[in-house]
Structure 1
Amino acid sequence: MEYVADLHLHSKYSRAVSKDMNLPTMAFWALKKGLNLLSTGDWTHPMWIREIKQNLEEAEQGLFRLKDDKTSLMRFLLSVEVSSIYSQGGQVRRIHNLIFSPSIETSEKINTELIKRGCNLGSDGRPIIGLTSINLCELVFSIDKDAMIIPCHIYTPWFSMYGSNSGFDTVAECFGEFADRIYGVETGLSSDPYMNWQIKDLEKRSILSFSDAHSPAKMGREATVFMTKDDTKKEITFKDITDAIKKDPKANFKIGYTIEFYPEEGKYHYTGHRNCNYVQLPEVTRKEGKICPVCKKPLTVGVMHRVEDLAKDGFSKEVSKLSPSGVKWIIDPNKKHPPFVKLVPLNEIIAESLHSTVASQKVKDLFDKLCLTFGSEINALLKVPLSDI
């Protein structure tokens, strides 16, 4: 049994997020996309936690379903992204972390403690808090030891653990005494697992991929697939998910593979200046420096450059194999991490083939038809032979 999980999403209460990011619409799109495990997102927001309580009920331990659709296999997990802005080591740090909560009760207790510390949770679905990553861990784990914290999009230059402008060089620098409780990291759209495999600091940690979607159509552009170890059909629980991320030998599930966006398409992959329409490769940055040749201001150091800086031993050779359906899988030759696959979103493929835009009605109609014919977008892209499409 596979659970295709997108556990980093945002609700309509976050800035620049579609009003369609409500629980019923998210569930509807999840089935179309081929997802069966979603983040609720944004449970720190007072209006959204109210909607969560109104619309969801616990199905399995720590996982929720829509109250009015008890037959659906779609599940929600309580997760939220928080933005910590603080000073540490003489530098301003801007770190985004995901919190996985095993219950609404735990979520509400965390919210109460954040409010006591002066956090304005009603301002945005992704709240800005003044707590350090260490303080955040201390708060969350003191309330519920079963909760989990995952650093988000870990190379984003301005807002992440390894970010070139406001981050750290190691997990331990960021999380201090709680570093051993950081069992996994989220790659972000501008890096893929292969890049993360080069970082010794991440060698024993799970490499997770989620979409950080702001609209239903973007859900599942990155996902993590949890699989039963003995390939039997089994209901999954919150503990099963966290045990798999921890790589617990006694876990019922494991991370089978991840689905990836092409990192070159991510807006932070290369060093550059978006306003100047200028990008450069890491080797050019090392030779020419970090000053934009157009505006003469400092460039934003991209993810690829940052990964190369952190990969002290250089890059290993990429190893791949083709599946029977012709899909290219990237394999970790050291067998420390599960494989992954990079996919182009189906609506983009359709738009390209029809010489149209993803927003056009004919692209939407064909997208819906293919999803209906083959079960879902992920099935069409990943499992159906090209000859059948």
Structure 2
Amino acid sequence: MKTYYADMHIHIGRTYTGKPVKITGAKSLTFSNIIQHARNEKGLDMIGIIDCHSPEVIEEISQLLHLGEIVEHDDGGLLYGDMSIIPGSELEIYDQNCQGPIHVLCFFPTIRAMSDFSIWLSQHLKNIQLSSQRIYVSGRLLQKKVKELGGLFIPAHVFTPFKSMYGKGVNRSLTEVFDPERIDAIELGLSSNTKMAEQIAELKDFTFLTNSDAHSLKKIAREYQTLSLNAPTFKEFAMALKQNGGRKVSANYGLDPLLGKYHGTACAKCLTPFRVDEGICQQCGSEKYIKGVADRIAELVSSHVERIERPPYIHQVPLEFLPGLGPKMLEKLLDHFGTEMAILHRIPYEQLKKVVPLTIADLIMAARKGELHLQAGGGGKYGKISGD
């Protein structure tokens, strides 16, 4: 078995002709730019690119296959050199069983399967060109179609306040919307971690994923996982989600939940911490608030949960989050050491401090060891980091 770094939730902002896909995504997030940046600067071994159902994205992938710049692996996935790309789609479900919109991820082994899925999708949503569109079928029917095409089905960022399985505060169980037998894993999202999620009994049998949900190139790999696989293929990834044959998620790397935008309950108007029992924001007087992930999970905690052995959840801080480490200094680090994965995990302290100021080298080491001091985020505002 080998260890592979994987981020399985990266959005496409624009097609190669400049047409929007993810409206809120950066214009630089084209398929070609993503694969180059993820491999050459981030140092990832496997990525899941969402929004591959968009017809122009399928066209770009087909052109790259024709030119031989990427190739399809016999066991599924597209190889760009030694990095594997798993084509995916993020969709929004809001059927009669949902109490709020829910985002899900669907992955497929081949571009042919993705193309067939795109054709089917075009009959059930308003704009096949765009990302995260509402699909006008039930969650269970969508699951059935994904499985017919040999795909994987994963509820996305399940605790965030908006557009997630548990986030709106009404749905209390996966079974209200989905067939659990057709769920392959659970994506946690930026404001939660394994310790928080494993308090919910119905999640016991699912593998947890930690992905970036990147809307810009620099946000790629702000969360990721290591996978133990024989090769970086769709088949091996699917086996890892089921922990078959020794394949597995060996570690989750994610932001400390305190850094997430929705960890704490916050005033909807001024985003300062909000105490629900007080009923009013002490800062601005507003009565409206955005319930934080920590408080939402507290509502869902099961009275008895059978604990199982899970991979470690390592509170990894992306380089761009470190105070004082700007774009020029990051470029200098990459010039010397190659990729962000190398800088975050492998480069010795003695080498780091030869390239950047001692304060930055100390911050990188503190981030590696999980020793940074944090201030909680909430209401859509990220938490803060200091090296003190």
Specify the TM-score bucket, using the shorter chain as the normaliser.
0.7 to 0.9
Between 307-316 and 267-276, report the one with greater CA deviation: 307-316
Aligned to 1:23: 31
Tell me, yes or no, if structure 1 residue 339 matches structure 2 residue 298.
no
1:44 aligns with 2:53: yes
Distance 1:44 1:27, change over 3 A: closer
Partners of 2:203 and 2:346 lie apart in 1 by: 30
CA contact (8 A) 1:210 1:223 kept: yes
Partner of 1:103: 110
Greater mean deviation of Cα atoms: 49-58 or 97-106 = 49-58
Q: Do 2:264 and 2:295's aligned partners in 1 also have CA atoms closer than 8 Å?
A: yes
Q: CA distance change for structure 1 residues 18 and 297 in 2, over 3 Å: closer, same or farther? A: same
Partner of 1:131: 137
**1:371: Cα distance to partner?**
2.5
CA distance in 2, matches of 1:180, 1:267: 31
- Structure 1 residue 76 displacement after superposition: 0.6
One-letter identity of the residue aligned with 1:375:
G
Match of residue 385 from structure 2: none
Q: 1:378 aligns with which of 341, 350, 355?
A: 341
CA contact (8 A) 2:125 2:133 kept: no
Aligned equivalent of 2:298, options 299, 308, 318: 308
Percent identical residues: 28
Report what 1:325 is aligned to: none
126-135 vs 298-307, which moves further: 126-135
Give the superposition deviation at 1:3: 1.4
- The C-alpha deviation readout for 1:3-33, integer Å capped at 9, x for no partner, is 1111111112211111211233212221311
For 1:359, the equivalent position in structure 2 comes to none
Cα shift at 1:118: 4.6
Q: State whether structure 2 residue 96 is matched by structure 1 residue 62.
A: no
Is 1:348 the counterpart of 2:338? The answer is no
Partner of 2:263: 269
Q: How many residue pairs end up in the alignment?
A: 337
Aligned mates of 2:63, 2:132 — CA distance in 1: 21
Aligned position for 1:171: 174
Task: For residue 121 of structure 1, report the CA deviation from its aligned partner.
Answer: 1.1
TM-score normalized by structure 2? 0.80
> 1:117 & 1:16 partners in 2: Cα distance?
23
Aligned-partner Cα distance in 2 for 1:6–1:102? 16
| Partner residue, 2:202 | 201
Runs of 4+ in 1 over 6 A off after TM superposition: none
Equivalent residue for 2:329?
366
Name 1:161's counterpart in structure 2.
165
Q: Decide which of 114, 121, 124 is 2:121's aligned counterpart.
A: 114
Q: 1:315 to 1:346 in 2, by over 3 A?
A: farther
Letter in 2 for 1:156: T
Question: 1:210 aligns to what SS in structure 2?
Answer: coil
Correspondence for 1:86: 95
8 Å CA contact 2:6–2:224 kept in 1: the answer is yes
CA RMSD, Structure 1 to Structure 2 (Å): 2.3
Q: Deviations over 1:49-93 (max 9, x none)?
A: 211222243134211134xxxxx21221011111112332xx643
CA displacement at 1:261 relative to structure 2: 1.5
Q: Deviations over 1:231-251 (max 9, x none)?
A: xxx423211101110122x25
Amino acid at match of 1:265: L
Match of 1:151 among 147, 152, 155: 155
Show the counterpart of 2:379: none
User: Equivalents in 2 of 1:237, 1:259: separation in Å?
Assistant: 21
